Chain A
Amino acid sequence: MNPFKPFAIWIRPHRRHIAIGLFLLVCAQAVGATIPMLLKWAIDAGREGMAAAGSSPAGVDPGVQRELGRYALIIAGLAFLQWVTNFGMRWYLNSMSRRVERDLRSAYVEHLVKLPLAFFHERRVGDLIARATNDVEAIQRFMNHAFRMAFTAVLNFVISLTLMCTIDWKLALFSLIPVPITVVLAGLVAGSIRDGYREVQEQFGAMVARIQENLSGIRVVKSYARSPYEIERFVDLNDRYVARNRYLINIRSIFYPLMFLFNGASMIIILWLGGLRVIEGAITLGAFVAFNVYLTRMGRPMMMLGRIVDEYNRAIASLNRITSILNEKPQARGAAEGEGIRGEIEFRNVSVSYDGRPALQNVSLKIQAGSTLAVVGRVGSGKTTLARLIPRLMPPDSGEILIDGVPLEDLPLSALRQAVGYVPQDTFLFSATIRENVALGIDQKTRSNGAEEGTVDNDIDNAVSVSQLEPDLQSLPMGLETIVGERGVTLSGGQKQRTALSRAVIRHPHILILDDAMASVDTGTENEILKRLRKFMESRTTILIAHRISTVMGADRIVVMEDGRVAEEGSHEELVQRDGIYAGMFRRQHLKEELEEL
C-alpha cells in the first residue's frame, strides 16, 4: 500500500521538485555515511603509526600526523559537500510542501465560492475557515516531514547498517537490537498520546463552552449574584482539565526519557561488546569509534518515525475534511444563452417553507416590465422570501418563477444576477474602500465592454449621488477611498444601507429590488433618495419592500402579504378605500407620525 496515494493529485505537479530533493537526499546520506569510515581509517592509521614507533625516543613519524591532517581535510570537504546537498534537499522538499499548501488552499477557496448559498447556511464560518488554515497546515507539516524525515531515517538506517556490517556484522546486529523496540514503542506511545490528547481537547472544549456561556449570560450572572457559583464551576472544570493533562504528561514524561534509555542501551552494547572485540583484537579502535558515531547519527531520525506516523494520521483526516468540501456540487449555472432581459416577472403558484413552516403559499403574481411593485406586510409575512427567489438566492419548493416568460433555472445564473440589483435589509460591507464596495463585481470585464476610461468613476459618482451617500462622503476622512468594515471606519446603519444601494444602482440593473433597504435611513433622506430613484427606475422593474407607507404610496401597484399569501392588491387609493389591512397600517402610520411630532 502506498501511503502517499491519497495525496497523489496534490503531489503530482511537484514531482520534479520531489525527484531532485530525493536525489540530493540520497547524495547527502551517502556523503554523510562515509564520514565515520574516514574517522575509522584516520584513527587506525594513527594507532599503527604509534605502534610502529613503539617506545623509540624519536617519537611518531611526522608523516602520520600529516596523514591525520589529510583525513581531516577530506572530512571537512565532505562536510561542506553535505551542507550543499542538504541545503538543496531541504529547499526542494520543504518548498514543495509549501507549494502543496498553497495549491490546496486556493483549490479549496476557488471551489468554495462556487457552492450554493444553502451550503453556507448549514456550516459554521469558523469550521470552513479552519479547513483552509488548520487542516491545510496539518497536511503541509506532514508533507514537509514525511519526505525528508521518513526517507532520511530509512536511508540512514540501511546505509549505516550495511557499512557497519562490512566492519563486523555480529556487533552491528547486536547493537541494533534496541532500534526496532524503539520504533515499535514510539508508534505505540504516539497512539496513546493521541488518545490522551483527544481527551484533553474534549475537556478543553468543555471549558471553552463554559466561558462562552458565562460571558453570553453575564447579565443573569450579575443580576442573580451568581458569579461565586460560576467561578466554583469553572475551577472544577479547570481541575478536571489539569487531571486529564496529568495523564498525558505522565505518558510523555515516560516516553522521551525511555527513548533516551534505549538509545543509551545501544551505546552500552557497543561499548561493552565492541570493547571486548577490540580487546580480543577482532576489530580496531577506529572501528569501535566508527560504530559509536554511526549509532549517534541514527538516534534522532529513528525517534522522528513515531511522530511521522502521528502526523500522517492527522494529515489524512485533514485531507478528508478538505476533499469532502471539494466534492460538494457547485451551484448550477443555468443552460440557455443569456439575452437582454426586459424585466417582466411572473410567479406561478410558488410555495416555500422553512423547516416545515410555510413562508409562501401558492403565490401567483405578475409584474409588468418597467413597473414598480410595492410589497408591505408584517414581519414574517413572506416579503423577503418573495424577493430572494428572484435572484435565485433560494429555490422555491414548488411552482415556477419566470422572467420575460423564461423559467429562472433556464437563465444563465451570472446573467440573471447581472440583471438583478438586490439590496437586502442587512448590509454586508467588505473590509475595503467605499469605492471597492460600491464597484463590487464591476471588473475589467465590464469595463472593457465598450466603456471608456473614467466611465467607472462617472458611474460611481452617479450612484453615490442617487443614493444620497455623497454628502456623507465629504465628512469621511478619505472620501470614497475610506476603508470601512472591521478594520476601518464604522459606518452608521443608514450609511451602510446607502452604500448597498449605490452598489445596486451602479450596475444599472433591469430589475431593482429594495428589501426594506432604507429602514435605517431617516424619512427626509429617504424621500430625497426616492425622488432621485424615480428617474432611475423609470425604465426598470422595481420591487419595493417597505414598512413606511410614505415609501410605497407612489408605487404602480401595492401588494399586502399576510401569512405567506397575497392578502390585498391594488393602488394606494384603492387599498385605502377598501378599508382592510393596508388601510389599518396607513392609519397607524399616521398616528406614529403625530406621536413623533409631540
Chain B
Amino acid sequence: MSGAVHPGALAEGDDSTRRFSPQLMRRLLGYLVPYWKWVLFTFGLIIIASAVRQAGPYLTKIAVDDYIIPGNADGLTHLIVIYAGLLVVQFVVGYGQSWATNMVGQWAMRDVRVGLFRHLQRLPLRFFDRTAIGRLMARNTNDVDALNELFTDGIVSICSDVFTIATILAYILWMDVRLGAITAVTLPLAFAATFWLQNRTDEAFREARFRFDRFSASLQETISGAEVVQLFNCEEERARDFNNANDGYLETRLESTLYHSVYFPFMEFGGISLMALVLWYGGGRVLNGYIEWGVLVAMLQYVPRFFMPIRDIADRIGVIQVAMASSERIFELLDSPPEPSGGDVRPDRLKGEIEFRNVWFAYNDEDWVLQDVTFKVDPGKSVALVGATGAGKSTIVNLVCRFYDIQKGTILVDGIDIRDWDVEVLRRHVGLVQQDVFLFSGDIRENINLGDETIGPEAVESAAHAVNADRFINTLPDRYDHEVQERGASFSGGQRQLLSFARALAADPEILVLDEATASIDTETEMWIQEAVEKLTRDRTSIVIAHRLSTIRNADRIIVLHHGELREQGTHDELLKQGGLYSRLHELQYTD
C-alpha cells in the first residue's frame, strides 16, 4: 500500500532523492531511542524468523535421507509434526515482527510530527511571511511518511534480507562446504548486477522525477492561468508543450523499464543457472558418495530462495534515498531558529501603559515602514491610529504584540522594555482583534475561550452578551455548541467580528489592539458593533486602527501616520481645527 501523493509537494523543485549520509542517519535513529526495547524485540524476531523460515529445505533433507530413502514412514510422520510446529512458530514470529516494526514506525512518526508541529508554533511570524503553507504541510505529511518507510521498508527489511542470506548460507555450508562455497561465489555476481541496475536506474529515476515535476508544474500553470491561456488562444500551444514534457517523461520511463526488463529476468536466469550447476556438481558428489541425495534436494530448494532477498535489497536502497532527501528537509525546518521567548517579566496584572520611543522598523533591510515614531498611551486610555494605506498602522499593532522585533528605538509596556517580557505572558495580556477574523473548527464556545479552561461557560456567555454576539448565537440551532463549519463561511462579516470581540473580552486583557474591519455591514449589525467597541475599549488601554468615524470620535487621542512617520496627534476637534493632514484624511475617508 503506497501513500497518496499530495500534489502540493510535486510543484517543488527540491531533489527527490539523496545519497546516504551518516549524520542524517544518526539523527534519524535518535527517534527510535525511546522505543529501543521494541526495536531490540524486532531484531530478535527477525533473526528467529529467518532461521525458522529457512529450516524447510533442511527438514526436507532430513526427510529424504533419514526416512524417505530408507523407507521409514513413521519417522517421516514425526518429522512432519515438527515441520508443522515450526510453521506455526514462523507464523507467530512473523506476526510479532511485522506488528512491532510497523508500530515502532508509527510511534516514531507521531513523535516527528508532533515535534514538527510544536516547533512550528514557536517560529516567528517573519518565517510564515516568506514560507508557503503548502510547503510546511508537505513537510509534515509526505516527508514524514517517507521517514516511516525508511524504517519499515528500509532498515528493517534490509536487515531481514541480510539475515535471510546469511541463514541460507549457514544451512548450505552446514550441509556441504563445497556446494556452500560455490553458492557463496555467486553472491558478489548477484550484487554486482544489482548495483549495475541501481546505477543505471538511479540516473533515469532522477531524470523522470525531474520531468514529472516539470510537467505537473506546467499543468498547474495552465489550469491556474486558464483565463490567460484562453484569452490568448494558446490552448494548443500549452497542450503541445505539455505533450512534449509528457513524451520526454515517457522516454526516461522507458529507459528504466528497459533496465528492469533486463535485470529481473537476469536474476531468475542466475538462479536457475546456479541450480543447473548444483545439479551437475552436487549430483556428481552424490554419485561419488560424498553427500547424500537429501542435500541435493535441499540445495535445489535453497538456490531460488537465495536470490530473492538480493533482488529486494535493490528496491530498498531506492526507498532509503527518497527518505534521506525527506529527512534533510524535515531537519532543515526543525533547525530554523524559533522566535525569542523573551525575558522573565511575568506580572499577574498590568497597568497597561504603552510607550514607543524613537521606533524604527523595516520588514526587509532598510525599507523603513516606521521612522522615528514616538508616542505614549496612558493606562486605560484609547488611541486611534489614522492614516492612508501603507502608512504603518498595522505595523504598530504587530509590534505591540511583539510579532516582530524593531531595529532601532524602544517599546515599553508598563515602563519595561518589551524584550524583557516573557512573550507568551505579554501576548496573554494584549488582546488582538484582527480585521479578517479567523475562526477555528470546533464549537462557538471553543472559538470564544480558545481552549482556555479557566474561561467557563458563564464567562463565555457573558462576554458574548456584552458585545451583542449572543443576539445571533441564540438563533443558532445548538447555540454555544454550534459547530463552526469551513472556518465560519456561513457567518456574515459582522457576525464574525462580534465573535472576535467576544473572544477578546473573554480573555479580559489589559491592553486591547483592534484592527477594525472595513467590510460593509448592514445597519443593525453596525449599531451592535459600535456599541461593542465602546464596551471593549472602556477602562482598557486600547490601540485601534479605526475605520469608523464613531470610533475615532470616541478615542481619547488620535495619532496620524503618514509614510511611516507620526505627523499629527490630538483629539478629533483639535486636529480638524489644525486643518492639516487629518482634516484632509477625514474628508477623504469619512465623507461621501
**A interface residues with partner B (beta carbon < 8 Å):** 35, 39, 42-43, 46-47, 49-50, 59-60, 64-65, 68-69, 71-73, 75-76, 78-80, 82-84, 86-87, 90-91, 94-95, 98-99, 101-102, 105-106, 109-110, 112-114, 117, 120, 125-126, 128-130, 132-134, 137, 193, 197, 201, 204, 207-227, 229-235, 238-239, 241-242, 245-246, 249-250, 252-254, 256-258, 260-261, 264-265, 267-268, 271-272, 275-276, 278-279, 285, 288-289, 292-293, 296, 331, 391, 393, 414, 417-418, 420, 422, 424, 428, 430-431, 440-441, 443, 485-487, 503, 507, 584, 588, 591-592, 594-595, 598
Contacts and interface: CB of A to CB of B under 8 A. Distances in A.
A592 to B, nearest CB: 6
B36 interface: no
B414 interface: no
Given A238-B110, A260-B94, A279-B68, A285 B246 contact: no
A270 to B, nearest CB: 9
A114 B235 contact: yes
A26 B77 CA distance: 39
Contacts of B5: 130, 133-134, 137
A117 B227 contact: yes
Which 4 A-B pairs rank lowest in CB-CB distance, beginning with the nearest? A257-B94, A229-B451, A86-B265, A441-B232
Given A71-B279, A98-B253, A414-B233, A296 B114 contact: no
B72 to A, nearest CB: 8
A451 B427 CA distance: 67
Given A75-B279, A90-B261, A246-B103, 11 more contacts: A65-B284, A86-B268, A117-B227, A125-B224, A129-B223, A133-B216, A134-B7, A225-B424, A256-B94, A441-B234, A441-B237
A112 B428 CA distance: 51
B489 interface: no
A417 B235 contact: no
Given A69-B280, A82-B265, A595-B585, A260 B90 contact: yes
A76 B133 contact: no
A428 B228 contact: yes
A257 B234 contact: no
29 contacts: A43-B297, A46-B286, A68-B287, A71-B279, A75-B276, A80-B269, A82-B268, A102-B249, A110-B239, A120-B223, A120-B227, A126-B8, A129-B10, A129-B223, A133-B5, A134-B4, A134-B5, A207-B141, A220-B432, A220-B450, A249-B99, A252-B102, A257-B90, A264-B87, A275-B67, A275-B68, A285-B69, A428-B224, A598-B580
Contacts of B232: 417, 440-441, 503, 507
Interface in B1-29: 1, 4-5, 7-8, 10-11, 13
Given A120-B223, A591-B588, A246 B110 contact: no
A227 B231 contact: no
A257 B265 contact: no
B430 interface: yes
Contacts of A391: 231
Contact of A113 (B67, B88, B217, B229): B229
Nearest to A258: B91
Q: Chain B interface mostly helix, strand, loop or mixed? A: helix
Contacts of B110: 238-239, 241-242
B272 interface: yes
Nearest to A72: B280
B262 A87 contact: yes
Nearest to A440: B232
B53 A260 contact: yes
Given A113-B235, A219-B125, A422-B231, A254 B95 contact: yes
A422 B229 CA distance: 12
Given A46-B286, A268-B83, A393-B231, A216 B261 contact: no
A102 B251 CA distance: 10
Contact of A271 (B59, B247, B587): B59
Interface string B564-579: 0001000000000000
Given A79-B276, A224-B450, A252-B98, A46 B63 contact: no
Nearest to A253: B98
Nearest to A416: B233
A60 B287 contact: yes
Given A129-B10, A241-B110, A215 B63 contact: no
A207 B56 CA distance: 45
Of A225, A296, A592, most B-chain CB atoms within 10 Å: A225
A42 B282 CA distance: 12
A271 B231 contact: no
A451 B297 CA distance: 81
B107 interface: yes
A440 B236 CA distance: 12
B527 to A, nearest CB: 23
Contacts of B249: 102
A541 to B, nearest CB: 17
Contact of A94 (B140, B247, B257): B257
Given A218-B125, A261-B91, A271-B60, A279 B73 contact: yes
B87 A222 contact: no
Contacts of B113: 207, 234, 238
A137 B10 CA distance: 14
Contact of A133 (B10, B120, B388, B427): B10
Of B5, B300, B431, B592, most A-chain CB atoms within 10 Å: B300
Given A65-B284, A90-B264, A223 B216 contact: no
Given A242-B106, A293-B300, A595 B283 contact: no
A287 to B, nearest CB: 12
Contacts of B268: 79, 82-83, 86
Contacts of B187: none
A257 B45 CA distance: 13
A106 B242 contact: yes
Interface stretch (B171-179, B313-321, B433-441): B433-441
Contacts of B102: 245, 249, 252-253
B211 to A, nearest CB: 12
A212 B265 CA distance: 46
B438 A105 contact: no
B532 interface: no
Contacts of A126: 7-8
B348 interface: no
A68 B133 contact: no
Contacts of A254: 95
Interface string B249-261: 1100110011011
A68 B220 contact: no
A569 B169 CA distance: 94
Contacts of B88: 261
Nearest to A61: B287
B272 A79 contact: yes
Contacts of B83: 268, 271
A43 B69 CA distance: 13
Contact of B588 (A49, A130, A595): A595
B417 interface: no
B341 to A, nearest CB: 12
B584 interface: yes
A73 B272 CA distance: 11
Contacts of A64: 287
Interface in B541-592: 562, 567, 580-581, 584-585, 587-588, 592
Contact of A218 (B128, B257, B286): B128
Contact of A109 (B107, B128, B242, B275): B242
Contacts of B231: 391, 393, 417, 420, 422
B141 A223 contact: no
Contacts of A101: 250, 253
Interface in B91-149: 91-92, 94-95, 98-99, 102-103, 106-107, 110, 113-114, 117-118, 120-122, 125, 128, 133, 136-137, 140-141
A416 to B, nearest CB: 10
B87 A265 contact: yes
Contacts of A120: 223, 226-227
